[in-house]
Amino acid sequence: MSTKVRYCVGNVGHPRAAQYALRTLLEMVVPPSCLVLGSGVDAQREDEAVVTYGMVREGMESGVRVFDSGFFDHHYGSIDAMPKRPLVRIQNTPAIYRDDRDATDRFYSFQHGAQGVTVDCHVDIVAGAFFLLSRYEETIVRTTDTFGRFPAESSVAYQEGFLQEPVVNQYAEQLLTMLRIAGFTGERRSWWRGAPWAIALTHDVDQQYRFPHGRPPALAVARSLAGRASADAPRWDRLLADYAATATHRKKDEYDCLAEMAAWEVSVGIRASYYFLGDSSGRRGADYATDAPGVTLQMKTVASMGHEIGFHAGFWASDDMQRFRTELTKVRSAGLPVVGGRQHYLRWKTPVTWRLWEAEGLAYDASLGFSKAAGFRCGTCLPFHPFDIESDREMSILEWPLMFMDATYVSSWSEGTRLLDDLSQKCQRYGGVLVLLWHNRNWSSVYAPAIRECFRSLLERCIAQGVAVSSIVGLAQLADATLSSQGAVLGERVESSSTVSVPGERHGKA
């Protein structure tokens, strides 16, 4: 019986990168304690199934042989290593890199021999997974939108029509199937302690006031009168009535709802992540200051209910270490633990922004989704350690990639609900986690009744079905608890003096 998996990377140009991708695929479906790193001279043991990538030395028995497309060789790091287009689908799965010397409609084939079954994978799942997880194309194609972001429309996934498919998870499932054929009988990895899948509920606190400083909603009224307001927006007369009631203190501002929102979540058994901006300057900054006594009290009130308080790095902080550090210090001035968060406007530069989060000792980032299209920017619905292509190293930080943001579909919420349902089904299928962004401004029954009702219904339904719904810190603790009996935790993988830990890890960070 083969209860462990020995994985071996042979003669490829960048073995660290290839080894990282192969192990990441395996860890999605096999408990890390069942994985053994091998080399070309290691002898296969009776309790091990072997998976190899690249050419290995003679005498190395291999249960699964993954096709090596040459991605990690001479053209690695250049545009010449980008996938050939158009992509081919094999068994309805995008084959980003494949063996095109022998056209086949099979993802893999196998043959029986004296030593058992040998499975040949005809798709380079190692290169394909690395391409998506590392955001390889974003280091090569420097296209940006008006906000300095890599746009969804420029990605291979969007152009080839698989942005809403978690291709890396599909590859991991295929790899597990091949290992089963080759004789692996070990247990499948479980992520959420018996829950079938999970939702990471997050809130970016961009604004706390619909009418900051008592400013009248002139632009919104003009849009309403011109017929250019979103379908869910209130009519101009109701907008003015709400302004008048708020300005005369007859009611609270609709966006000043954090305590109410947090209390409702607790009432249905949910904890969430609340990300606060440390930048309150300019038109891209917050309309609040985290070091103001009233805001600090709000943060502590939300935290006292069991929610996570996190960092929302400002518009200009995606590639500015000093600004990033200054803003983080302001958020931490509330005296609450801050271990992760997200970039404002989803502004991102690969791999520079990951380095900022890692350098400040943060445990995770949750920024990597596209602002104009929901889906799997990183190709996966599971958290993972990123890989710094320029430094040729696996990073200690974890990425919890964002899959759906309410603001993307404010003007077309029917499309948004369809995609949200589809992404939820994909996450359920692969036992993953749907990282969901719900802005506090869309809690309002005046300004976003459809979004509010949709999210509340989704969360209540999922809780009733046994889905794990929590903050990212809460889910990280759950994942660690699930693995603890197997002798490993989610953040242990990178051995480095700069390793940071998610709450619940063996390192004991609170």
Q: What are the respective helix, strand and coil percentages of the chain, to the nearest 5?
A: 35, 15, 50
Q: Are residues 122 and 240 in the same domain?
A: no
Locus of tokens 């002798």: 487
Burial class of residue 353, CB neighbours in 10 A (0-12, 13-18, 19+): buried
Any domain includes 477: yes
> Would the CA dihedral through 57, 63, 68, 74 be positive or negative?
negative
Q: What residues pair up with 76 in beta bridges, in sequence order? A: none
Buried (b) or exposed (e) across 233-261, using 16+ Cβ within 10 A? bbebeebbebbeebeeeeeebbbbbbeeb
Opening angle at CA 187, ends 182 and 189, nearest 5:
110
Whether residues 458 and 340 share a domain: the answer is yes
Given the DSSP bridges, would you call strands 387-388 and 393-394 parallel, antiparallel or unpaired? antiparallel
373 with 477, same domain: the answer is yes
Longest pairwise C-alpha distance within the chain:
85
* Residue 345 and residue 360 in one domain: yes
Q: Identify whether 491 is part of a domain.
A: no
Using left for φ > 0, alpha for ψ between -120 and 50, and beta otherwise, residue 415 falls in alpha
Encode pLDDT of 335-349 as tens digits. 999 999 999 999 999
CA 212 vs CA 209, 233, 247, 311: distances in Å? 5, 18, 10, 22
CA distance 270 to 123: 40
At 263, which amino acid appears? Answer: A
Residues 247 and 318 in one domain: no
The rounded distance, in Å, linking the Cα atoms of 374 and 452 is 18
**247 shares its domain with 267:** no
Instruction: Report yes or no on 52 lying in a domain.
Output: yes
Residues 6+ apart with CB under 8 A from 220: 229, 233, 236, 239
pLDDT computed for residue 492 by the predictor: 54
pLDDT for the residue numbered 314? 98
Q: pLDDT of 121-157, one tens digit each?
A: 999 999 999 999 999 999 999 899 999 999 999 999 9
Rounded distance between C-alpha atoms, residue 82 and residue 84, angstroms: 7
Q: How far is CA 157 from CA 22, 78, 154, 372, 433, in A?
A: 20, 19, 9, 14, 20
Going by the DSSP 8-state scheme, the letter that residue 213 receives in this structure is G
Chain position carrying tokens 């497309």: 69
- Taking the CA atoms of 175, 138, 83 and 71 in sequence, report the sign of the dihedral they define: negative
Taking the chain (510 residues) in runs of 10, the rounded mean pLDDT of each run is 90 95 98 87 75 71 87 95 96 94 84 86 97 97 94 98 98 98 94 96 95 77 72 80 86 93 98 97 93 96 98 97 98 97 98 98 98 98 98 97 96 94 98 98 93 96 97 97 70 41 34
Residue 322 and residue 299 share a domain: yes
Do 421 and 294 belong together in one domain? Answer: yes
Counting the structural domains of the chain, the total is 3
Indicate whether 224 and 328 sit together in one domain: no
Does residue 494 lie in a domain region?
Answer: no
Residue 306: the pLDDT is 98
Q: Residue holding tokens 């051995």? A: 495
381 backbone dihedrals φ, ψ, rounded to 5°: -110, 25
Residues 274 and 136 in one domain: no
Cα distances (Å, whole numbers) of residue 232 to 258, 350, 412: 21, 35, 9
Please report the sign of the dihedral spanned by the C-alpha atoms of residue 258, residue 224, residue 417, residue 415. Answer: negative
Residue 121: CA count within 13 A, CB half-sphere: 31
Identify whether 397 is part of a domain. Answer: yes
Which token pair is 1?
């019986």
List the CATH number of the domain containing 377.
3.20.20.370
Do 342 and 298 share a structural domain? yes
Please check whether residue 429 lies inside any domain of the structure.
yes
**Three-state secondary structure call for residue 93:** strand
Residue 509 lies in a domain: no
Q: Looking at the structure, do residues 238 and 133 belong to the same domain, yes or no?
A: no
Host domain of residue 60: 4-181
pLDDT, position 504 = 36
Domain membership of residue 121 (yes or no) is yes
Which DSSP letter does residue 81 get?
G
**Amino acid identity of 106?**
R
pLDDT of residue 98: 94
pLDDT of residue 215: 79
Please check whether residue 337 is in contact with residue 362, taking contact to mean a CB–CB distance below 8 angstroms.
Answer: no
